[in-house]
A and B are shown apart, each in its own frame.
Chain A
Amino acid sequence: MRKIAVAGKGGSGKTTIAGLLARVVAEGGHDVLTVDADENPNLGISLGLGVDATYGLIGVREALYADGPAIATSMEEVVERFATPAGDNLRIVQVRKFDHFRPG
């Protein structure tokens, strides 16, 4: 199992490249799980999900804490509950979703 992270200065094209890489690897037959850890999450757009679907993705962190302390016991469980399909062999888990103000 490969675990690859993509990083860079904002605007460098990191998300575009991460999304393209995921699509290429998935089209090659691998089972690809993408994780968008950006607090301004746009990876869904680069996977080809479209702007509205990306905007609507659940933020796992917020979802887990919505009803009190988080109860998921493992990342695998989080993936099973929250991962959104983005094509054949391809899923996305979005860590954060910010749609209202939280104090810094």
Chain B
Amino acid sequence: MRVALLGKGGSGKSTLAGLLCAELAARGGRVVAFDADTVPGLGSVLGMPVTDDWFLAGAAVREGAGWRLEGSPAEIVDRLARPAPGGVRFVQLGNADAGLREFELFRQRFPEKWSATMAFNTVSRVFDEPGGWAVVDLQGGTVNVAAGMAGATGVALVVVEPFAKSLLTARRFAEMAGWPPGLRLAGVASKVTSPADEAYVGQELERLGLPLWASIPVDPAVRRAERAGNPLVGLDPDSPVRRAVAALADRLERESAAAAAV
């Protein structure tokens, strides 16, 4: 089943995506993770090294004025996904190279890399792992393309922190027209410090017609790991954050089973 993560930048979306991948893989699931950020988000949570590679540069070839995907999304993932901890297969959009990249100039200078972006978007939008999981960490705050990039099946999780700007962002996602009918929208409260925080987010999600599927607490262990630059997959499985992610994984497994039974 596909699980796309949406939310305002800094909402904890990438952290959640990475820990979710690790949790699902630890339960024996086949997991493919897509990191759609040009600065690695989910990838760094998994401890993947920051590289200059556009992973899918080899996936698309020029054809006339356009380009063509070389193989099906499944074949491309088989060929080009990188191994991540826990057996997760990892596919990254982005180029980690620092420095100026005038976007148009970059596209002209490196046409094969521009098509890598198209290849990534095409693959990450449709790929599903039969009997397994495709987790897509969309770029933070990109409301306008979310309905297209989240895909047409599975679940789209809107990650919401207990403060006004994050709630307003969730409102924009929820009120957007054009969501595919086969995609289920749900909310996850993030960086929760108290039951009042959870109620605050829950109320707004209810107003928007979104169920609250998980509540991820603020965890000092996360802060410590980030200060030290340690990948968050190293967190203790008993830590509050990881237990909350496990509860979300339970919910997603029930959803996946229900969808498969249809």
Chain A residues engaging chain B, CB cutoff 8 angstroms: 9-12, 15, 38-40, 42, 45-46, 51, 54-55, 98-104
Q: How far is the CA of A11 from the CA of B141 in the complex (A)?
A: 10
Q: Interface majority SS on B: helix, strand, loop or mixed?
A: helix
A42 touches B168 (CB 8 A): yes
Interface residues on B, range: 20 to 34
Q: How far is the CA of A30 from the CA of B169 in the complex (A)?
A: 31
What sequence of 0s and 1s flags, for each residue 114-153 of chain B, a beta carbon within 8 Å of any chain A beta carbon? Answer: 0000000100000000000000000011111101110000
Select one of A11, A15, A102 contacting B11, CB under 8 A. A11
In the complex, chain B residues 154-212 whose Cβ is within 8 Å of any chain A Cβ? 164-165, 167-169, 171-172, 175-179
B168 touches A54 (CB 8 A): yes
Chain B residues engaging chain A, CB cutoff 8 angstroms: 8-11, 39, 121, 140-145, 147-149, 164-165, 167-169, 171-172, 175-179
B169 touches A42 (CB 8 A): yes
Shortest 6 CB-CB contacts between residues of A and residues of B: A11-B10, A10-B9, A101-B178, A104-B145, A40-B141, A101-B147
Select one of B145, B147, B164 contacting A51, CB under 8 A. B164
State whether A10 and B143 are in contact (beta carbons under 8 Å apart), knowing that A15-B165, A100-B176 are contacts in the complex.
Answer: no
Select one of B9, B145, B171, B177 contacting A11, CB under 8 A. B9
Contacts A42-B168, A55-B171, A98-B172 aside, 11 further interface pairs with beta carbons under 8 A come to: A10-B8, A39-B142, A40-B9, A40-B141, A40-B169, A40-B172, A45-B164, A45-B165, A46-B165, A102-B144, A104-B148
A101 touches B141 (CB 8 A): no
Q: How far is the CA of A58 from the CA of B246 in the complex (A)?
A: 41
Q: How far is the CA of A12 from the CA of B169 in the complex (A)?
A: 16
**20 A-B pairs whose Cβ atoms sit less than 8 Å apart in the complex:** A9-B10, A11-B10, A11-B140, A39-B141, A39-B142, A39-B143, A39-B144, A40-B172, A45-B164, A45-B168, A54-B168, A55-B171, A98-B176, A99-B176, A101-B176, A102-B144, A102-B145, A103-B148, A104-B121, A104-B149
Chain A residues with CB under 8 Å of B141's CB are 10, 38-40
Q: How far is the CA of A35 from the CA of B256 in the complex (A)?
A: 44
State whether A9 and B39 are in contact (beta carbons under 8 Å apart), knowing that A98-B176, A104-B149 are contacts in the complex.
Answer: yes
> Which residue of B is nearest A103, CB measured?
B148
Select one of A40, A54, A100 contacting B8, CB under 8 A. A40
Q: How far is the CA of A45 from the CA of B141 in the complex (A)?
A: 16
